[in-house]
Structure 1
Amino acid sequence: MKSTITIDVELDENKVPQDITWVATASTAEQAKRAKAIMLSLWDGAERAALRIDLWTKEMMVDEMADFFYQSIMTMADTYGRATQYHDQVNDMKAFAQAFYKRFQEKQLEQQKAT
């Protein structure tokens, strides 16, 4: 079985992502789904290097970006754990993600108090 994932990025006049949509042939969704951001990582085994595409639209708010990063780090930790069974490192990654998100929330509160 083969599935094709198509990601379309509409750019504005300054080549800033304006709209991101995606669809997968193996999905049950009938229409393309919208996204405000995408982080795509591919592993090049020959070069031993991560290849990345990181895009976000102007609509992406800072709090959404913090949520996106927090959830991404947590799910990367879970994936790493399933692949390696190195639970100590999984716990370290999750602790970092939680500390990162807590610091973001503190920063938001500081900014709210300042206004």
Structure 2
Amino acid sequence: MKKSTINFTVELDDNNIPEKIFWEATGKPEPGLTETKSISVSLWDHTQKNTLRIDLWSKDMPVDDMKRFHVECLGGIAQSILTSTQDEFMSNEINALCERLVNHLKGQNP
């Protein structure tokens, strides 16, 4: 059986706030640690029927980048729903929300 791993390394300041976040994974084109400013990982607990989340961001990540990161995560969820369930309605609704949020970030509130 083939196995794959994803590892995160977080450097914390004295107040346990992330200063730097690194990740590495088997099969990644460039081996070794790569720095990132934010991660968002969701895990489905099939026993409890709920989602466990890990959200981290470095303290120097700009707020505008954080907002864009979340909008792009939502867009990825829309694609995942379509791929995994073929539910076009849910995918389209999430994509429509993403479009409204992009307009909001551009200052074009409807």
TM-score scaled to structure 2, two decimals? 0.91
1:86 matched residue in structure 2: 87
Question: Which 4+ runs in 1 deviate beyond 4 A?
Answer: none
Query: What's the offset of the Cα at 1:101?
Result: 2.0
Bigger proportion of residues as helix:
1
Distance 1:16 1:67 in 2: 21
Q: Bigger shift: 18-27 or 40-49?
A: 18-27
Asked if 2 retains the 8 angstrom alpha-carbon contact of 1:66 and 1:101, the reply is: no
Please list every run of 5 or more consecutive structure 2 residues that lacks an aligned counterpart in the other structure: none
Q: Does 1:95 align with 2:92?
A: no
Percent identical across equivalent pairs? 35
Query: What's the offset of the Cα at 1:100?
Result: 1.4
1:77 matched residue in structure 2: 78
Q: Which residue type is aligned with residue 88 of structure 1?
A: F
Distance 2:7 2:79 in 1: 25
Please list every run of 5 or more consecutive structure 1 residues that lacks an aligned counterpart in the other structure: 108-115
Count, aligned residues: 107
Asked if 2 retains the 8 angstrom alpha-carbon contact of 1:23 and 1:33, the reply is: yes
Q: Does 1:53 align with 2:54?
A: yes
User: RMSD value over aligned CA atoms?
Assistant: 1.2
TM-score scaled to structure 1, two decimals? 0.88
Query: What's the offset of the Cα at 1:32?
Result: 0.8
Query: What's the offset of the Cα at 1:10?
Result: 0.5
